[in-house]
Amino acid sequence: MNKFKQFIEWHIFGVCSAIGEKMGIATSTIRKYFIYMSFMTFGSPVIVYLFVAFG
């Protein structure tokens, strides 16, 4: 069960962290923009987010 939890945390929550590290941007900034874009485009960034998380 612990391995499953670590897998989910890394893939779901690690996407913004990984993007932030590669681009040199704070993780909180990336998360804010992701939320804003999700509201503005009716959730389409969620598909991209899941593709990056599990791709």
- The per-type count for the chain, helices as H runs and strands as E runs, is 4, 0
Q: Give 18-46 pLDDT, tens digit per residue.
A: 888 888 988 888 888 878 887 787 767 77
Structural domains counted in the chain: 1
pLDDT of residue 46: 76
Q: Evaluate whether residue 1 is within a structural domain.
A: no
- Arithmetic mean of pLDDT, 6-14: 70
pLDDT value of position 36: 82
What gap in Å lies between CA 5 and CA 1, rounded to an integer? Answer: 6
pTM above 0.75, yes or no: no
Asked if residue 35 is part of any domain, the answer here is yes
Does the pLDDT value for residue 12 go beyond 70? no
Q: Which residues form the domain of 34?
A: 6-54
Would residue 25 count as lying in a domain?
yes
**Cβ atoms 30, 19 nearer than 8 A:** yes
